[in-house]
Amino acid sequence: MVTYKVRVSTGKDLMSGTFDCISLTIVGTLGESNKQRLDHFGRDFAAGSIDKYTIQCDQDLGELILIRLHKERSKIFPKNSWYCNYVQIYTPACTTYHFPVYQWLDGYETLELREGTGGGHHTQGKTVLDENLPILVTHRQEELRAKQDFYRWRVFVPGLPNYVHIPSYHPPVRHCNPDRPEWNGYIPGFPILINIKATKFLSSNLRFSAVKTASFFLRLGPASLGMKLRGLLDEKRSWKRLKEIRKIFPATKTAISEYVYNHWKEDQFFGYQFLNGINPGLLKRCLCLPEKFPVTDDMVAPSLGEGTCLQAELEKGNIYLADYKILEGIPTVQLNGKQQYHCAPLCLLHCGPEGDMMPIAIQLSQTPGPDSPIFLPTDPEWDWLLAKTWVRYAEFYCHEAIAHLLETHLIAEAFSLATIRQLPMCHPLYKLIIPHTRYTIQINSIGRALLLNEGGLSDRAMSLGLAGFAEVMCRALAETKYEDLYLPNDFIRRGVQDLPRYYYRDDCLAVWGALETYVSEIINYYYRSDAAVEGDTELQAWVREIFTECFLGRESSGFPTCIRTVPELIRYITIVIYTCSAKHAAVNTGQLEYTSWMPNFPSSMRCPPMQEKGLTTEESFMESLPDVKTSCIVLLVLWTLSKEPDDKRPLGHFPDIHFVEETPWKCIQNLKERLAQISCNIKERNKNLPIGYNYLDPALIENSISI
Ligand code: FE2
């Protein structure tokens, strides 16, 4: 008789425990155990518990390679779900086998899982090339087949990355309507289910925890109710004066939001936001003025100061350009019965001797001419402020549609889905990437149901409507290049590699370096040669699927269709992990504090761009800004999306044990130490700044896109 000791860990979240009957079968290279019930005195499988059992076998099972977890009907209790973290088995010879589960078991089902090292305790976590047992080859294939069968790609909008089609998605939101906040129905504690189907190789693991669900939805209802009670959500009129906009502002105050409120009109702060605001990746060095933007020396001489001229500053590399051409010609919609307007401005900036980035000229169209004057800081105050506000309006679309939704949420969702579909759980790249996909498919599914649906919140608050918003993203995806996603190159391409006070870039490069080192340590451990990379058919299928489903098979994107060498793989995986974590933090975390003061981030404009100078007044400025109702809806959306809910996991913290071997754990430890040092450096630097830049502080970055 051989005795195996078994430990079973149940998830910590409120609703992870189960009263159903759980049994276990252990499969080894020399045979398998009988199915044995896991039942000890007292409560089994309570949330957060680790339960211990013994399993008796007639014979030694050899090396342990698989387990089967059986979840069956209890005689007393109705069916309830179970989130199992892992199962560990100790042999009489004192060998420990670790079986990662990290899945929900919802129904009465059997789940077959591999040992963490990929089976065969003396080998490293496996690629398909290392597989040597037929039973494991079959298991691997069956797992992938089940996942590919269940998780299917679906077209979201033609021209955008495809997304996951989940047949049994049941959003708990009954109706989302700011006019009827009491309808923003959600049952606290009821987890957001994304699927309920289970097979032998796949269970349902795509759901929010109860804590996260509650913290997410409980914000929207009270916030919209508050505005409703104050009558603001019914007001289709203009704001009377700037000060009146403070009415919707108080609940969102932070040191930075106050700074925005106090400084939004200033040129210095307007320029600062291009570097360290929430859309810090757009500005380019301008060595030669584009023909479409005929700024003259006379126009900018007062801004440049004495002893220099525009040509000299262009040659010195001190002139920068924000070009919103991508927004050109998109039709607008009516909001609250009023036609909205749009433009694709150009903004020229000068980096002065003190290192301040100052706007020096703005043109509100891509076509110069008498109807499109070039606005200057020397123009009447309201003209210049409105011209800058049009640029901030253009920033709204470049930030929300491109930098935030497309370049992080949608692309990361496609990375996540390809990872689930093409890499088995025992694959080292699965283990490396999966923590960076946590909750991404879930939050995007909610986003589509709540924000990106026809007549939904976004459709009712943006001058471009939903179709125009999608068009901006489609254009941006068509221009996306693989090499630009390698951000150290992107800074060089944009000519901003040596720009002073560009904290976003400094922090980005520091975090990038830490992640790239971590990825290279792990990849070098699992892939000992280029041949191991090239021969990994699962890896190649994963890369191909991302090319086809995310970048729509466009060769012009430069996205690889296969990966042949270890350095290429390191580069690819670093891009994936950075995109799924830090890149999102840089554009997401500051959303509310930079945008809650609406004039700094208007989502629509109610008057056409100015065609003449000298006509703007405070009154016409207020008439151009979004009306009261539109402002409130946008604030509600940003309020919901930018408050980080509970149940966070900071970058580099991997409580789920997917890697079993010692080396990857050392790599993770090294990563944590590097990130902690970066965090210290950022905090130290911020002490001396008027407003700190902390969106890329690793302590505040999440492992994945979860909001
Ligand atoms: Fe986000």
Distance from the alpha carbon of residue 404 to the mean position of ligand 1, in angstroms: 6
Distance from the alpha carbon of residue 85 to the mean position of ligand 1, in angstroms: 27
Return left, alpha or beta for 455; rule: phi > 0 is left, psi -120 to 50 is alpha, else beta: left
Distance from the alpha carbon of residue 643 to the mean position of ligand 1, in angstroms: 10
What are the tokens at 336? 């609250």
Distance from the alpha carbon of residue 577 to the mean position of ligand 1, in angstroms: 15
Distance from the alpha carbon of residue 707 to the mean position of ligand 1, in angstroms: 5
How many angstroms separate the CA atoms of 432 and 125, rounded? 11
Distance from the alpha carbon of residue 150 to the mean position of ligand 1, in angstroms: 26
Name the β-bridge partners of 90. 5, 96
Residue 256 parent element (H or E): helix 255-263
Distance from the alpha carbon of residue 584 to the mean position of ligand 1, in angstroms: 6
**Cα dist from 684 to 506, 513, 681, 700, whole Å:** 14, 19, 5, 15
How many angstroms separate the CA atoms of 438 and 448, rounded? 17
How many angstroms separate the CA atoms of 456 and 477, rounded? 23
pLDDT digits (tens, 9 = 90+) for 373-403: 999 999 999 999 999 999 999 999 999 999 9
The alpha carbons of the chain give a radius of gyration, in whole angstroms, of 28
Residue whose pair of structure tokens reads 């253009």 in the numeric block: 394
Whether the predicted pLDDT of 197 surpasses 80: no
Distance from the alpha carbon of residue 214 to the mean position of ligand 1, in angstroms: 18
Mean per-residue pLDDT over the chain, rounded: 89
Distance from the alpha carbon of residue 362 to the mean position of ligand 1, in angstroms: 30
How many angstroms separate the CA atoms of 273 and 260, rounded? 10
Range scoring the smallest mean pLDDT among 292-296, 455-459, 482-486:
455-459
Dihedral (CA of 571, 576, 580, 585) sign: positive
Residue whose pair of structure tokens reads 């859309």 in the numeric block: 279
Name the β-bridge partners of 38. none
Dihedral (CA of 545, 548, 549, 554) sign: positive
Report residue 174's pLDDT band, with 50, 70 and 90 as the boundaries. Answer: very low
What are the tokens at 506? 């400094």
Distance from the alpha carbon of residue 232 to the mean position of ligand 1, in angstroms: 26
DSSP three-state, residue 234: helix
Whether the predicted pLDDT of 165 surpasses 80: no
Distance from the alpha carbon of residue 482 to the mean position of ligand 1, in angstroms: 21
Distance from the alpha carbon of residue 592 to the mean position of ligand 1, in angstroms: 11
Distance from the alpha carbon of residue 388 to the mean position of ligand 1, in angstroms: 26
Distance from the alpha carbon of residue 223 to the mean position of ligand 1, in angstroms: 19
Domain ranges, ordered by start, for the chain: 2-150
Return left, alpha or beta for 232; rule: phi > 0 is left, psi -120 to 50 is alpha, else beta: alpha
Distance from the alpha carbon of residue 405 to the mean position of ligand 1, in angstroms: 7
Range scoring the smallest mean pLDDT among 64-68, 202-206, 297-301:
202-206
For a pLDDT cut of 70, what percent of the chain falls above it?
88
CB 143, CB 424: distance < 8 Å: yes
Report residue 188's pLDDT band, with 50, 70 and 90 as the boundaries. Answer: very low
CB 424, CB 175: distance < 8 Å: no
Question: What DSSP assignment string belongs to 464-497?
Answer: THHHHHHHHHHHHHHH--HHHHSHHHHHHHTT-T
How many angstroms separate the CA atoms of 95 and 97, rounded? 7
Distance from the alpha carbon of residue 488 to the mean position of ligand 1, in angstroms: 22
pLDDT digits (tens, 9 = 90+) for 511-524: 999 999 999 999 99
What is the end-to-end Cα distance of the chain in Å, rounded? 52
Distance from the alpha carbon of residue 586 to the mean position of ligand 1, in angstroms: 10
Distance from the alpha carbon of residue 647 to the mean position of ligand 1, in angstroms: 15
Distance from the alpha carbon of residue 398 to the mean position of ligand 1, in angstroms: 14
Distance from the alpha carbon of residue 591 to the mean position of ligand 1, in angstroms: 9
CB 4, CB 89: distance < 8 Å: yes
Distance from the alpha carbon of residue 441 to the mean position of ligand 1, in angstroms: 12
Distance from the alpha carbon of residue 588 to the mean position of ligand 1, in angstroms: 5
Query: Domain 2-150 is classified in which CATH homologous superfamily?
Result: PLAT/LH2 domain (2.60.60.20)
Range scoring the smallest mean pLDDT among 119-133, 239-253, 625-639:
119-133
pLDDT digits (tens, 9 = 90+) for 303-331: 999 999 999 999 999 999 999 999 999 99
Q: Which of 359, 393, 394 is nearest to 379 (CA)?
A: 359
Distance from the alpha carbon of residue 641 to the mean position of ligand 1, in angstroms: 7
Report residue 178's pLDDT band, with 50, 70 and 90 as the boundaries. Answer: very low
CB 597, CB 249: distance < 8 Å: yes
Exposure of 186 in the CB half-sphere (CA atoms within 13 A)? 25
Distance from the alpha carbon of residue 16 to the mean position of ligand 1, in angstroms: 26
Report residue 117's pLDDT band, with 50, 70 and 90 as the boundaries. Answer: confident
Distance from the alpha carbon of residue 36 to the mean position of ligand 1, in angstroms: 45
Whether the predicted pLDDT of 410 surpasses 90: yes
